[in-house]
Amino acid sequence: MAQLPRSRLWAFTFFDPTADNPGHFERAVDRNDLTYVIGQCEVCPNTGRKHLQGFLCSSQRRTLIGIKRLLFSSPALRAVHLSSCQGTSDQNREYCSKDESRDADGAFLPFTYGVFAEVPERNGQGARSDLHGIGVLIRDGTSMQQIAQDNPDMYIKYHRGFHALQQIVRCVPRAWDPGGAYAPPTVRWYYGSSGSGKSREAFTAAFSDPLRPCYSKSSGNKWFCGYAGQPIVVLDDFRADWFTFSYLIRLIDCYPLSVEIKGGMVEMCADTFYITCPLRPEQLFAALVQREDGRIAQLLRRITEIRLFGDEPDPPRAIVDGFRAG
């Protein structure tokens, strides 16, 4: 099994923050578990739900499981979303202190503990330009676009190796959560007629966080070429004949799964999926609704949200053209 990547810089979010949260992170700095941490209460613009948005620098490089065990093992914090930071530390600090999303009536004021001057500039730009240095940048999450822009000569010569390294170190199997279970991904199914705005909404939401890259899958085939561990995946204008049904429910489940690219396989490690489609799941897979083996229920319980855009579509025929039960 591939070794889990380690990082010092982490972005984190959890819902329903409480007044004792800042003290929890202050104590972690006092114990030298953290070099720096910043956070504030925010309000989600779409749902109005309150959450804590934060950025931290661990005193040493840790895996996702390691940082969860260190800071987020209590029942109140287990639902945290963590991601190894993209971009510079300055960008991450600014993202966690922006005025426009700050909750003026939050459980606590914005907090900062530790010494920012001791935080590395980034998991990326500014390090050595030799092969070892670029390998470190790739391991820590720097995008291939940034690597090519900063090191064009090296990219021209070694781009195949760079992409191979990225797939190995960034596409890690879905991990067992310290809380004792695999964390289920968030799956949002947007359906409705053409031109109703479902794709715009999906892509707007998917690209709303510059620190969480998004992968948009090409339509009509099984290939995930270009997937390199992005935490968000968009399946736009999805149809039933893209995959077998059994493959679809495995793709949006929480367990390890390898997906196909040209010439090989990579681990799927997304934690959020946006699916746009003309039909509801029960309509797209109408042939399964009457079956007694519970297949359609398997799909529905994996979907976090089903949302209509425009008018409700007409009921489809009993069997969807091109559907392949797997």
Residue 248 pLDDT? 94
pLDDT in tens, 33-80: 999 999 999 998 777 889 999 999 999 889 999 999 999 988 888 889
Confidence label for 4 from pLDDT (cuts 50, 70 and 90): low
Residue 171 pLDDT? 67
Determine, yes or no, domain membership for 316: no
Q: How do beta strands 81-84 and 258-261 pair?
A: unpaired
Q: Do 55 and 9 form a contact (C-beta atoms < 8 A)?
A: yes
Residue 167 pLDDT? 76
Answer yes or no: do 220 and 288 share one domain: yes
Confidence label for 319 from pLDDT (cuts 50, 70 and 90): very low
Q: Comparing C-alpha atoms, which of 3, 158, 184 is closest to residue 81?
A: 184
User: Which has more confidence, 234 or 182?
Assistant: 234
Q: Comparing C-alpha atoms, which of 184, 170, 298 is closest to residue 228?
A: 170
Residue 325 pLDDT? 46
Q: Tokens for 144?
A: 């291939």
Determine, yes or no, domain membership for 199: yes
Q: Do 4 and 63 form a contact (C-beta atoms < 8 A)?
A: yes
Residue 290 pLDDT? 73
Mean pLDDT of the 114-135 span: 69
Answer yes or no: do 196 and 302 share one domain: yes
Residue 126 pLDDT? 36
Determine, yes or no, domain membership for 321: no
Q: How many domains does the chain have?
A: 3
pLDDT at position 261 over 90: no
Q: Do 141 and 170 form a contact (C-beta atoms < 8 A)?
A: yes
Mean pLDDT of the 227-236 span: 91
**Candidate ranges 45-54, 105-114, 179-188, 207-216; pick with highest mean pLDDT:** 105-114
Answer yes or no: do 89 and 165 share one domain: no
pLDDT in tens, 140-177: 778 788 888 888 888 888 888 888 888 777 766 666 56
Q: Is the pTM of this model over 0.85?
A: no
Task: Determine the structural domain holding residue 154 and report its residue range.
Answer: 131-170
pLDDT in tens, 22-34: 999 999 999 999 9
Answer yes or no: do 159 and 243 share one domain: no
Mean pLDDT of the 236-246 span: 91
Q: Tokens for 324?
A: 């392949």
Answer yes or no: do 280 and 204 share one domain: yes
Q: What is the residue-averaged pLDDT of the chain?
A: 85
pLDDT at position 180 over 70: no
Answer yes or no: do 190 and 297 share one domain: yes
Q: Do 169 and 179 form a contact (C-beta atoms < 8 A)?
A: no
Residue 324 pLDDT? 46
DSSP state of 118: G
CATH number of residue 70's parent domain: 3.40.1310.20
Distance of CA 257 to the CA centre of its chain: 15
Determine, yes or no, domain membership for 180: no
Residue ending a domain, among 97, 118, 139, is: 118
Answer yes or no: do 52 and 151 share one domain: no
DSSP string, 252-265: TSSS--EEEETTEE
Confidence label for 130 from pLDDT (cuts 50, 70 and 90): low
In sequence order, which residues have a C-beta less than 8 Å from that of residue 270 and are 6 or more positions away? 185, 215, 230, 231, 232, 233
Residue 326 pLDDT? 46
CATH number of residue 282's parent domain: 3.40.50.300
HSE-CB for 304 with a 13 A CA cutoff: 13
Residue 286 pLDDT? 85
Residue 218 pLDDT? 87
pLDDT at position 282 over 60: yes
Answer yes or no: do 76 and 11 share one domain: yes
Answer yes or no: do 192 and 298 share one domain: yes
Q: Comparing C-alpha atoms, which of 303, 283, 204, 208 is closest to residue 240?
A: 283
Please report which residue ranges of 7-104 form alpha helices under DSSP H.
21-30, 64-71, 89-95
Answer yes or no: do 233 and 289 share one domain: yes
Answer yes or no: do 191 and 156 share one domain: no
Determine, yes or no, domain membership for 126: no
Residue 19 pLDDT? 93
Residue ending a domain, among 94, 118, 142, is: 118
User: Which has more confidence, 156 or 180?
Assistant: 156
Determine, yes or no, domain membership for 324: no
The fraction of the chain above a pLDDT of 70, given in percent, is: 88
Answer yes or no: do 103 and 214 share one domain: no
Determine, yes or no, domain membership for 178: no
Angle at 255 between CA 250 and CA 261, to 5 degrees: 60
Q: How far apart are CA 206 and CA 213, in angstroms?
A: 8
Residue 86 pLDDT? 81
Q: Do 251 and 268 form a contact (C-beta atoms < 8 A)?
A: yes
Give CA separation, 203 vs 213, 263, 274, 299, in Å. Answer: 12, 28, 8, 22
Determine, yes or no, domain membership for 314: no
Strand order in the sheet with 111-114: 81-84, 7-15, 50-62, 34-43, 111-114
Residue 201 pLDDT? 95
